[in-house]
Amino acid sequence: MTNSFKTFLKHTSKDFHNQSVNPPIVRASTIIFKSMNDIRKTQSKYKKDPRGGYFDYGRQGTSTTHILQKILSKLEESYFTFLTPTGFGSVFLAIFSVVRPGDEILTVDPVYNPTRMLTQDYLKEFGIKTTFYNPHDLNSLKKNITKKTKLIFVENPGSNTFEFHDLSKVIQIAKKHKIFTAIDNTWATPYFFKPIKLGFDMAIVSATKYYSGHSDVMGGSLAVNKKVFKHVEKAQKITGLRLGPDDAYLITRGLRTLDVRLDKHQDNAMKVAAFLSKNKKIKLLYPYKKGSLNYKMWKKYYSGASGLMGLMIKTKNKNSVIRFVNSLKLFGYGYSWGGFESLALHQGKSERGNRKYLNLNKNERLVRLHIGLEDPNDLIADLKRALKHVK
């Protein structure tokens, strides 16, 4: 990429044929050809260059999805980027591509709970064992590696509790034992961190979140290196996990302002974090406190921080924390995040999962905040008023 990230997002994929600054939406189930010879030529081109945008059936995609794949591959600095209907579809595709019955997976403990349920429970029925490791103690990773270990699955920072760990060491361990690696990079996106460039085999982003940015579309991306490309290509053909052209168009449109939005999310989140850090009842789960292990690990790998953070609130009264959340006026209540609006969610066991290494005492409650694009002073005033309910 010769231009900067910011310039690239504004100028890529213009449609000069239709004289449009955005590519058109091409919807197709049947891809029409002039003759059988043309079909065979297209199929031959695909075999020679599977990344070239040659389609003989709509399930493979259209020019609209191909354009998004090219944009994301440049942003990720990856060999290729696959698209799925949801972010979790990319999680499934990454795992399904390289793991088989009899294999073992090592997964970071603070992982997205649906990922935990997939690896720990569902895949167990297929003879695939999952062991969870502590992100702050990589000996718990090393000691559980066996000859059957096929994949190390990372989410960084940890889901809901936002633990950052030493990613280069994870990659070194994996390469030493010839184990595949995958990371869920939704929190940062490649704007703040590029996992493939660091050495991961696969990098997942829920396009539902910051890529879209407007809370009106679902999708996922799976960036890969050359080593795993054929594994993922085959798995996607078999599963039919494909993103539709309308969603691809909306995600492409959202990407034009990814840098502007993430810079603002970060700026707002830092101001909110500065306010919350002064509250003695709150432990802020965000890379804000200099000198902390999470801060050091964030600073080592990331160029910035997004708008998602956690609060660990110390109180004997659980209901007062729920009243705090319920009394917020500028924060919506709901799952997902990454849109323009602020969100708040009390984190129960159903959200964080049955953690092995999370030591919450009975007086600690978790709340997740997504800091949106509103005026940060208004958000701070809303939080200040609502925190009076915490007793």
| Same-domain status, 290 and 326 | yes
240 and 282 in a single domain? The answer is no
pLDDT value of position 2? 54
Residue partners of 373: CB distance under 8 A and separation at least 6: 261, 264, 265, 268, 340, 341
Regarding whether 13 and 112 lie in a shared domain, the answer is yes
Residue 23, pLDDT above cutoff 90: no
| Domain identity same for 124 and 53 | yes
Residue 143's Cα: distance from chain center in Å?
A: 27
Same domain, 103 and 251: yes
Q: Is 144 exposed, middle or buried (0-12, 13-18, 19+ CB in 10 A)?
A: middle
Q: According to the model, what pLDDT value does residue 292 have?
A: 87
pLDDT, position 9: 86
**Distance of alpha carbon 263 from alpha carbon 2, whole angstroms:** 22
Whether 223 and 281 map to the same domain: the answer is no
The per-residue pLDDT for 100 is: 98
Rg (CA), the chain: 22
Shared domain for 188 and 294, answered yes or no, is no
Q: What is the 3-state secondary structure (H, E, C) of the chain?
A: CCCCHHHHHHHCCCECCCCECCCCCCCCCCCCCCCHHHHHHHHHHHHHCCCCCCCCCHHHCCHHHHHHHHHHHHHHCCCEEEEECCHHHHHHHHHHHHCCCCCEEEEECCCCHHHHHHHHHHHHHHCCEEEEEECCECHHHHCCCCCCEEEEEEECCCCCCCCCCCHHHHHHHHHHCCCEEEEECCCCHHHHCCHHHHCCCEEEEECCCCCCCCCCCCCEEEEECHHHHHHHHHHHHHHCCCCCHHHHHHHHHHHCCHHHHHHHHHHHHHHHHHHHCCCCCEEEECCCCCCCHHHHHHHHHCCCCCCEEEEEEECCCHHHHHHHHHCCCCCEECCCCCCCCCEEEEECHHHHCCCCCCCCCCCEEEEEEECCCCCHHHHHHHHHHHHHHCC
Confidence band, pLDDT 50/70/90 cuts, at residue 1: very low
Domain count, the chain: 2
What CATH number is associated with residue 283? Answer: 3.90.1150.10
What residues does 333 pair with on adjacent strands?
Answer: 344
Give the residue with greater pLDDT, 235 vs 13.
Answer: 235
Contacts of 118 (CB under 8 A, 6+ apart): 91, 92, 95
Of 4-13, 92-101, 242-251, the least confident: 4-13
In whole angstroms, give the CA distance from residue 12 to residue 21: 9
- Split at pLDDT 50, 70, 90, the class of 5 is confident
What integer is the mean pLDDT of 234-263?
Answer: 96
**Highest mean pLDDT, choosing among 182-191, 286-295, 339-348:** 182-191
208, 226, 255 - which closes a domain: 255
Range of the domain at 182: 5-255
pLDDT at 17: 67
One-letter identity of residue 339 = G
Nearest Cα to Cα of residue 98 among 186, 184, 202 = 202
143 and 266 share one domain: no
Q: Give the pLDDT mean for 58-72.
A: 94
Q: What percent of the chain has pLDDT over 70?
A: 98
Q: Out of 255, 275, 299, pick the residue that ends a domain.
A: 255
**226-239 helix and 87-98 helix, angle to the nearest 10 degrees:** 110
238 and 317 belong to one structural domain = no
Cβ–Cβ under 8 Å, residues 367 and 331: no
**CATH number of 213's domain:** 3.40.640.10
Other Cβ atoms closer than 10 A to 127:
10
Check pLDDT > 70 for residue 16. Answer: no
What's the mean pLDDT in 229-243? 96
Confidence of residue 346 (pLDDT cuts 50, 70, 90): very high
Q: Domain check: are 44 and 185 in the same one?
A: yes
Percent of the chain with pLDDT over 90: 86
Rounded mean pLDDT, 304-322? 94
Question: With 90 as the cut, is the pLDDT of residue 351 above it?
Answer: no
Averaged over 369-374, what is the pLDDT? Answer: 98
Residue 130 and residue 278 share a domain = no
User: For the chain, first and last CA: distance in Å?
Assistant: 53
**How would you classify the pairing of strands 104-108 and 129-133?**
parallel
Q: Are residues 102 and 217 in the same domain?
A: yes
Last residue of a domain, one of 237, 255, 273: 255
Q: What is the pTM of this model?
A: 0.94
pLDDT of residue 287: 93
